[in-house]
Amino acid sequence: MSVRAPIHTPYDGSSKLFTIGLKPLDPGRWIEVDEHLKSYLAEKRRRYAEIPDRVFVEEEGTREAQREVLDLLDAHLLANFPEIYRRSSSGIEVIGATEGIGGPVGGSSDAPLVAASLLVQEDLILMRRDESGWRLVAGSLCFPSSWSLIEKFGRPLQQIHAPVPGFGPATRFADLINRMFDGLQGQAVERYNWSIQADDTLYHPLSNIERIDRATNRPTRFPDGDVNAHAFIRVERQTLRKLPVSRDILFTIRIHLDPLKVLAHHPDRAALAASFAAQILTLDAAQLDYKGLTADRDKLAESLKIMARGNDESLS
């Protein structure tokens, strides 16, 4: 992955963990495209070819909404990135990208959401309202951040968020999120989430059973103790927008991965590292378990404090 300065730094205190933190989104900034576009798309094609049923799901009756997503993306990408996308006989395409998806997609390679997902670096999740609430009815999730698309498929928001401390059924945050989804109209919104992982893998699933086991055993992610050598910051940029025709909600998730050590070369490294360390140290036991940081919190916080002080040790 890239070693340039991180594009997004929500750990500066602007997007605290385990809060909702939705903010209005400029429509022109809906989708992010960078120099890693083709490598992200290649990775999506590989996942579609190797594990199609784990990265794409759909309910019957969602194809029209999926097509609506594809049409919105087509218009947005051509208008905002004409140097990267062009119109072709089959729709639009990434200039210079490999054709095809590299294999069948669970028998649904003709699904519009699959076509849409192979244009952008974002994962795409479609939510629909019924008597049980807002349910996950279709999704392309090639880059999961410690969750399983199969396990969440068909479930309402309060069940999807059940493992998240403070966001499960009957909590204040669960009710608030449902009301926000209901009230979402033409204005798109965005939020950020972040975590730490021990490699630069984009595909990072975790089942509920694995999550329970991790919380119970609390394994370290850095057995040799060298946080700087192995830690990567995983930032999720999430957007929500209500589709104008179907009234379904499209949830996009864009993953940014940066080695922790790049912060040492950031012009605001002292403030960033200090804020990062402070937030990690304020997480309670349940939150640390959820993030898989229980065993590594102190090592990570100490590394960040050294970085904040400007000690050359943080550059090693």
Q: Please state the domain extents for the chain.
A: 10-306
Q: Which residues are CB-contacts of 214 (< 8 A; sequence separation ≥ 6)?
A: 206, 289, 292
Q: Select the more confidently predicted residue: 295 or 311.
A: 295
Token representation of residue 62: 């969602």
Weakest-pLDDT range from 52-66, 105-119, 154-168, 226-240: 105-119
Tell me the pLDDT band of 314, cut-offs 50, 70 and 90.
very low
Tell me the pLDDT band of 311, cut-offs 50, 70 and 90.
low
Weakest-pLDDT range from 68-72, 111-115, 220-224, 277-281: 220-224
pLDDT at 102 over 60: no
Task: For residue 293, give the amino acid letter.
Answer: L
pLDDT at 2 over 70: no
- pLDDT at position 98 is 63
What is the distance between the alpha carbons of residues 10 and 190, in angstroms, rounded to a whole number? Answer: 12
Q: Select the more confidently predicted residue: 69 or 261.
A: 69
- Per-residue pLDDT, averaged over 45-56, amounts to 96
pLDDT tens digits, 4-44: 778 899 999 899 899 999 999 999 999 999 999 999 999 99
How many other CB atoms sit within 10 Å of the CB of residue 19?
12
Tell me the pLDDT band of 1, cut-offs 50, 70 and 90.
very low
Weakest-pLDDT range from 67-71, 233-237, 294-298: 294-298
- Per-residue pLDDT, averaged over 230-254, amounts to 96
What is the distance between the alpha carbons of residues 134 and 245, in angstroms, rounded to a whole number? Answer: 17
pLDDT at 122 over 80: yes
Calculate the average pLDDT of the chain: 90
Tell me the pLDDT band of 100, cut-offs 50, 70 and 90.
low
Taking CB atoms within 8 Å and a gap of at least 24, the contacts of 170-179 are: 173/20, 176/20, 177/20, 178/133, 178/134
pLDDT tens digits, 129-146: 999 999 999 999 999 999
- pLDDT at position 230 is 85
Say whether 85 sits in a helix, a strand or coil: strand
Tell me the pLDDT band of 290, cut-offs 50, 70 and 90.
very high
Q: Which residues are CB-contacts of 212 (< 8 A; sequence separation ≥ 6)?
A: none
pLDDT tens digits, 184-205: 988 899 999 999 999 999 999 9
Is the pTM here over 0.85, yes or no? Answer: yes
- pLDDT at position 192 is 97
- pLDDT at position 108 is 63
- Per-residue pLDDT, averaged over 249-253, amounts to 98
Q: Are strands 249-259 and 91-94 parallel, antiparallel or unpaired?
A: unpaired
- pLDDT at position 220 is 83
What is the distance between the alpha carbons of residues 257 and 304, in angstroms, rounded to a whole number? Answer: 17
- pLDDT at position 210 is 73
